[in-house]
Structure 1
Amino acid sequence: MFRPLPIFIGARYTRAKRRNHFISFISMTSMIGLSLGVLAMIVVLSVMNGFQREMSSRILGLVPHAAILGVQPLDDWHKVADAAMRDPAVMAAAPITEMEGMLSYKGAMQPIQVGGIDPAEEGKVSIVGQHIVQGRLQDLQPGEFGVVIGELTARRFRLNTGDKLTLIVPEISKEPGGITPRMQRLTVVGIFKVGAELDGSQAYIHVADAGAMQRWAPGQVQGVRLKLHDLYAAPQVSKAIAAGLGDAYRADDWSHTQGSLFSAMKMEKTMIGLLLLMIIAVAAFNIIATLVMVVNDKGPDIAILRTLGATPAQIMGTFMVQGSLIGIVGTLIGGVLGVVAAFNVSQIVGWLERVSGQHIFTSDVYFVSSLPSQLQWGDVAIICTAGLVMSFLATIYPAYRASQVQPAIGLAV
C-alpha cells in the first residue's frame, strides 16, 4: 500500500533502534511525561467535577432554587404556589419565612440563617428530611417553638434533642435606636447533617412560629419556595412568575446567595487545569529536545535523502511525523489510564490508604465520606486535544532545522 515518504520514514525512525541510547531514553521520558500530564489532568478535573456535583446536590438541596416573596406577608401562599406550579419548569412549591439572627447557648453565640418551614410540605422541595440524624422533622409543631439545627451547630454547642437554646432576631422598633433584639427560647427537636457548611449556618423552625416571631397574623408567610427541573434556569423562571403575579411580589433565587461559591469553584477548576497543563507543556519541551538530538544523530541520513531528491518539506514532514507519533501514543496512553483512574478513584485512594497506613481523605475536612469523581467526556476531549496540539507544535522547530541541513555538510559529519 502506498504511503507518503514523510509518514513512512517518520514511522520507521520512531521504531528504529538508535545508536545513541540517551536519545531513546529522552524520547521515552517525553512520552511518559505526556501520559502522566494527561492522566493527572483527567483525574484531578474529574474529582473537582465530583466535588462540585456533591456541593450542588447538598447545598442546593437545602437552599431554595427560587422563591417568590411578597412585598408584604402573604395571607394565602397556596394561591402563589398554584400560579407557580402552572409553569412547566417548576417541580414543587412550599411556604417559607426566612430570618437572620443569632443562636445563644450558655454564653456562646453564633450567627444563623433560620428557615420557617411546613414539615408536611418541605419534603417536596428540600432534602433536609432525608438527612436527619437525631429526632424528626415532623416534630416541628406550630406553637411549640421547636428547632432543627445542623450537626456542626450541635457539635459546637454540645447540644442534643431536648436541649433548649435562645434565638435572637432583630426587630424594627419605633423607639429611639430603631432596632431592638427579640429573643425566643427554642427546643432542639432534630439535628440534620448534609455534609456541607450549611450544617453550621442553617436552622429550621415551623413556619407558624416564624410568623409569630415576626408578629404577623396567623397563617401569614414571607413567600413560596420553588424546586425547579433545571436549577440554572432559576433567575429567568422566578422573574417570569413574579412578573405574572404583579408588583406585590419579587423574585429571588439561589444565585444571589450561593452564586459566588459556585463561581469560585469554577474559577478554581480553571486555574488548577491551567497549572496541570504546564505538565503537558514540559513534556512537549522534552519532545523538542528529543527531536533536536535526533536531527543531529540523523544528519548523514538527512543528507542522503536530500541527495536522492527529497525536498525540504518532505524532510520537515518526516520529523514532524516522528514527534507527533510520540505525542499521539503518550496522549492515548494517558487518556486511557486517566479515564480508568477517574472511574475508580475511590478504590485507588482506599488502596493507597491501606498501603501507607495514612488517611489521605477525611470526611471531617471535605464533608463527603468518599472521594467523588464525575468524568466529563468534554474535559477528556479538551485535555487530549491540548496534548496533541502541544506535541505537534513542539515538532515544528526541530523539523524545520532538519529541513535546512545541507547535503554536503551532512555527509561530512
Structure 2
Amino acid sequence: MKFPFSWFIGLRYTRAKRKNHFISFIALASMLGIALGVMVLITVMSVMNGFERELKERILGTVPHIIVGERGDGVKDWQALEQRITEEPTVVAVSPYIDSTAMFKSAYGGTEYGILQGIMPDREKQVSVIEDYMVTGSIDSLAAGEYGVVIGTAMAKNLGLWQGDKITVLVVEGSTVSPAGISPRYRRFTIQGLFETKSELDSRVALIHIGDAAKLLRKQDTVSALRIKVDDVLRAHVTSTRIRAMLGLDYWVSDWNRTQGPLFRAIQMEKNMMFILLTLIIAVAAFNIVSTMVMVVTDKQSDIAIMRTLGASPATVMKVFMVQGSVNGVFGTILGVISGVALATNLPDIVAWVETQFGIAMVPGDVYFIGFLPSELQSSDVVNITLAALGMSVLATLYPAWRASRTRPAEALKYE
C-alpha cells in the first residue's frame, strides 16, 4: 500500500528512536493522558445513563404518571370521573386509590413512618410495575376484609418482619376526637408479600386493599384520587394539560413532572456538566501533544530544511508533523475507548464484588434513590467522545506543524 509522502515521513518519525528521551516520555504521557480521559469519560457517562434509566423504570414505573382528584375531600363518584378521563386517547389505564400517612409497628417494638395506600390489585398492575419487583407474595393476595398488606423489603428489615408476620398500622385520618384528645385508629395486618424496587419506596410505602383502607380511614364512599397511566410517560405533561382543560376547575390534575421532574432535569444537567468537565482532561493531554511537537520540530530543524531543499512545500511539511502528532492522539483514543467500554460494561459486577469482599455499601439504598451502581453504555456517547478526543488531538498539532512549515532552510543549515 502506497502512502502519500507526508504520511510516510510522519509515520517514520513516529517509529524512529529519539536521542532525547524526554521527548519520548512526554509523548507517552500525552497518549496515556488521552486514554485515561476517554476511559473516565465513557465510564462516567455510562453510569449517568444507568442512573437515568433505573430512575425512569423504577421511579416512573411506581409513581403515578398523572393524578386527578376532586377539589375538596376526595373523589365521590370516581367511576364517572374515570369514564370522562378515558375519553383521552393517550390514557392507557386508570386506577383509584386511598392514601394516608401512617405509622407501622411490629411486635418487636420497631416503628416506621410512611404512606399507606389502598389499591385495587387488578387495576394497580395496569398502572404500576410494582408487581414486577415482588420478592415474595403478590399484590393479588390482597383481598377486602382479610386485612393483608404488602410492604417493601427495607421496611420489613427495619421492623424485623417477613411474610406471614403481623404488623400494626396506625393512622390519624379518621381518628376519634374526644375531650381527652385524638385517638388514632389502628389495625393489625398480615404481611402478604414483599417488594424490592431498590429505591426509597421500599422503606416508605405499604399497600393494602382499597376496601380495607376505606374502613380504616372511614372513607366508604370516596377515594383520594385517580392514578393514570399514559402511553408515553415523557409526554405526560401534555396529557395532563388536556385533561385539566377537559375537567375544568372542579378538579385538580398533577403529573410526574411536578414531583419528579426536577430530579430528571438535574440528572440531565449533571450529564452535560460531567461531559464538559471531563473533556478538559482530554484537553490537558492534548496540550502535552503541543509541547511534545514543539520540541520535535526544534529537534528536526535540519531534517525540515533538507525536505524543503529537496522540493517539499510548506504544506507538505505541515502535514508531516500533523500526522506524527496525531498518531499519539489516535492510539490514546483507541486505548481509552477499549478500556472505557470494558470498564463501563463490567462496572456493576466490579462494584458488587468490591462490596461483597470488603463488606461496604458504595451506593447505600437509604441514601440514594437506588441501592446499586447501574451502567448503560450508549453508542452515541462513545462516538461523541471518540470524535472529541480525535478532534482535539488533531487541533493540538496545528501550531507546531505550522511552525515547522515556516522553517527557513538556509538558517536551519547554517551551522550544519
TM-score when normalising by structure 2: 0.83
C-alpha distance after superposition, 1:242-265 (max 9, x if no partner):
322333222212222222333333
Q: Kindly tell me: are residues 126 and 112 of structure 1, through their superposed partners in 2, closer, same or farther at Cα, counting changes over 3 Å?
A: same
Aligned CA distance change for structure 1 residues 379 and 361 (closer, same or farther; 3 Å): farther
Q: What are the residue-to-residue correspondences of 1:11-410 with 2, within 5 Å?
A: 11-72=11-72, 73-104=74-105, 109-160=111-162, 161-170=164-173, 182-189=184-191, 190-218=193-221, 220-346=222-348, 358=358, 365=365, 372-410=374-412
Q: CA deviation at 1:394?
A: 1.7
Aligned CA distance change for structure 1 residues 395 and 363 (closer, same or farther; 3 Å): closer
Structure 2 unaligned residues grouped into runs of 5+: none
Shift in Å at residue 385 of structure 1?
A: 1.9
> 2:148 touches 2:189 (CA, 8 Å); kept in 1?
yes
Q: 1:376 to 1:81 in 2, by over 3 A?
A: farther
Q: Given that residues 102 and 169 in structure 1 are in contact (C-alpha distance below 8 angstroms), is that contact kept between their aligned partners in structure 2?
A: no
CA distance in 1, matches of 2:50, 2:31: 29
Q: Residue by residue, what CA displacement relative to the aligned partner does 1:77-111 show, whole Å, maximum 9, x if unpaired?
A: 33333444443433322112232344455776443
| Post-superposition offset of 1:132 | 3.0
Calculate percent identity across the aligned residue pairs.
44
1:59 counterpart letter in structure 2: I
Deviations 1:201-254 (A, max 9, x none): 112222233344554343x22222122232111111122123223332222122
Between Structure 1 and Structure 2, how many residues are aligned?
408
Q: CA deviation at 1:408?
A: 3.3
Which structure 1 residue ranges, 5 or more long, are not aligned? none
* 2:127 match: secondary structure: coil
Q: Is the Cα contact below 8 Å between 1:42 and 1:379 reproduced in 2? A: yes
Equivalent position amino acid for 1:32 in 2:
L
Is contact 2:168–2:189 with CA below 8 Å preserved after alignment?
yes
Distance, in Å, in 2 between the alignment partners of 1:378 and 1:196 is 28
Alpha-carbon shift at residue 22 of structure 1 (Å): 3.7
Given that 1:116 and 1:207 are in contact with CA atoms closer than 8 Å, whether structure 2 keeps it comes out as: yes
Mapped to 1, the partners of 2:141 and 2:135 lie a distance apart of 13
Mapped to 2, the partners of 1:287 and 1:213 lie a distance apart of 72
C-alpha distance after superposition, 1:239-292 (max 9, x if no partner): 212322333222212222222333333344344434432332232122122212
Cα distance in 1 between the residues matched to 2:147 and 2:104? 14
3-state SS of paired residue (1:123) = helix
Q: Is this contact kept in 2: 1:150–1:191, CA < 8 A? A: yes
The verdict on how the C-alpha distance between 1:353 and 1:215 changes in structure 2, with shifts beyond 3 A counting, is closer
Shift in CA distance, 143/86, structure 1 to aligned 2, threshold 3 Å? same
